[in-house]
Chain A
């Protein structure tokens, strides 16, 4: 699903955020991406979501070489990805329902279909009763779940989460990780960037460790060796 091939990202000024990264993430896999802040986790996700482009090397996501996706095609590429942010990125002038419906409205789905899918997604994160509420009235955990519902409502093949449990208590964090696990079990590839090592170690998933833009640990290869 995701294939880094000698991929580097150098920012203007000479800082190497990622250096010669090579790795494979299979379809349907759930992977944790960890490391100190500044290790390259965010850059990793930005490259995969085409928010930025690699300076060198190749990156293949969902069978597509990202170098060959022109500016006009980026929106269509992103429609197969769900992104979850630490700060939720919800729109506070719209209801929970309208926030979650946005990816479907962008794709021009019929209204009835939108209603069905939005309710299914809200049901999945346990917020079905809050659909008419504005996000500002929700707790941090609830806002994050709205963000998750929005990220999965259009059934993406790939789910990216950047510090999704950053501001949540351990119990809520655990529940959210369980939700991700369920998505991966139905075939969605999930990549979670997190520095919550305690939480990560309790999950039975592959862990990628980044340091100074380089891969210094991959639990899958350790298991093979």
Chain B
């Protein structure tokens, strides 16, 4: 509006509103849209709950799997303690020498514990575990060597330190073979990273699904409120003003979706905790399922809200322009 040519300008409200008032008005209009959009959702609770549930399920899947993965990683961390080196001693080494070697090794700072398994004990164990007990009876003498099982100290857990220790042990006079039992751990961690990558892809696809669900819901909401949008455009509502309640609707969907996802995960963990305890007691270990942690929860909330906003932003950007007063 050109002030010189419009003497009535100072009479219109747009001309009188000061900076503070307009800032206040801006915040108020956001608050209004925030509350108003929730009110709109409450009017159709069934469709609101259904949409929020779809979002919740889509988000619960990757988040829940992530929680399980965290649990598995914690478990494999415990197993990480089980990295051990088996020293197979030469055939001629007497039990006394083996015990002396055990004592010497025990004093090394890189080693926390050394267990001695005599050939007889090894044979017993092998008979028990392999099921070849009868076949072994056919042997004249015990083919198994004495073994020293070494637990490296905590400081010696990384690969280089272990490799150094292994070299030194191989150099010992009485040692036939020194073997690091960590292949299965490497495999486990490879499987973990494979699962992690799969989870990442799955999350991406489900995030896309959430955006599409929210976008479609908002598109329908825009079509339902077509008359209202036309009227607001006619009386001078800006695009931002019209966009706002729809964006907040998307935000609400995100919040509710996150809530439902959290609920679903909590229920799933509760249902799983019984069988898991049973399983771990069978392995003589004590393992409690980790609940969903704060970081996961926070990122669930943030991602969910962003996806809700993103979906509604897409829908609003596409469909609001099409509605013009005629």
Q: Which A residues fall within an 8 A CB radius of B?
A: 27, 49, 51, 62-64, 72, 75-81, 83, 89-91, 93, 102-111, 150, 154-157, 187
Contact = CB atoms under 8 A, between A and B. Distances in A.
Contacts of A79: 12, 14, 235-236
B232 A102 contact: yes
A157 B14 CA distance: 12
Given A77-B236, A108-B26, 14 more contacts: A51-B326, A63-B2, A63-B4, A63-B6, A77-B1, A78-B235, A89-B230, A105-B32, A106-B237, A108-B21, A155-B12, A155-B13, A156-B12, A157-B8
A91 B228 contact: yes
B36 to A, nearest CB: 10
B4 A106 contact: no
Contacts of B17: 107-109
A104 B234 contact: no
A79 B230 CA distance: 15
26 contacts: A49-B234, A51-B324, A62-B2, A62-B6, A75-B237, A75-B238, A75-B241, A76-B1, A76-B14, A77-B1, A77-B236, A78-B235, A79-B12, A79-B14, A80-B12, A80-B14, A89-B230, A89-B231, A91-B227, A91-B228, A107-B17, A108-B17, A108-B28, A110-B21, A150-B235, A154-B12
Interface residues of B, number: 37
Nearest to B325: A51
Interface in B5-21: 5-9, 11-14, 17, 21
Contact of A104 (B13, B24, B228): B13
B317 interface: no
Contact of B13 (A27, A72, A109): A109
A34 to B, nearest CB: 22
A71 B10 CA distance: 24
A57 to B, nearest CB: 19
Given A51-B325, A105-B29, A107-B236, A157 B2 contact: no
Contacts of A107: 13-14, 17, 25, 236
Contacts of B28: 108, 110-111
B94 interface: no
A156 B12 CA distance: 7
Contacts of A27: 7-8
Most chain A CB atoms below 10 A, which of B2, B22, B233, B235:
B235
Interface in B238-258: 238-239, 241
Most chain B CB atoms below 10 A, which of A75, A76, A77:
A75
B236 A75 contact: yes
Contact of B1 (A80, A103, A187): A80
A103 B24 contact: no
A155 B237 CA distance: 16
A106 B232 contact: yes
Contacts of B1: 62-64, 76-77, 80
B9 to A, nearest CB: 8
Contacts of B230: 89
B239 to A, nearest CB: 8
B12 A157 contact: yes
A108 B29 contact: yes
B10 to A, nearest CB: 10
Contact of A154 (B13, B231, B325): B13
Contacts of A49: 234
